[in-house]
Amino acid sequence: MAEAFILEFKGVSADKYGAVTSILGLDPVTGAGAWPQGLLSHTGAGGDGDQLVVFEVWDSQAAQEAFMQSRLGPALGQAGLPEPARVQWLSVLGNYAR
């Protein structure tokens, strides 16, 4: 069963999201780039000017952890993001996208 992953950052503006995706060589608008194995969907959202939330669905926690260790963690550090205010895993009960 797929797993949902939430990362929430406080005090982080949308430009930091763009910096991280650029470092990773990913384009979340067009889908271009070398997206990690096991990632089923990705959404980045901002709110109140200083909040960034990333919501992803993975085929396993192990796949996300491998991506975090190899690429995402270093990219977050390079872009200067603080430690996330929230890190949470949820079991996916249903998933619909058009």
Q: How many residues does the chain have?
A: 98
Tell me the domains of the chain and their CATH numbers.
3-91 (3.30.70.100)
In the structure, what pLDDT confidence band is assigned to residue 14 with cuts at 50, 70 and 90?
Answer: confident
Contacts of 5 by beta carbon, 8 Å cutoff, 6+ apart: 54, 55, 56, 57, 58, 61, 64, 88, 89, 90
What does the pLDDT read at residue 30?
94
Look up the pTM and report it. 0.91
| Higher pLDDT among residues 95 and 20, named by residue | 20
Which tens digit of pLDDT belongs to each residue from 41-80? 999 999 877 899 999 999 999 999 999 999 999 999 999 9
Name the percent of the chain lying above pLDDT 70: 100
What does the pLDDT read at residue 1?
82
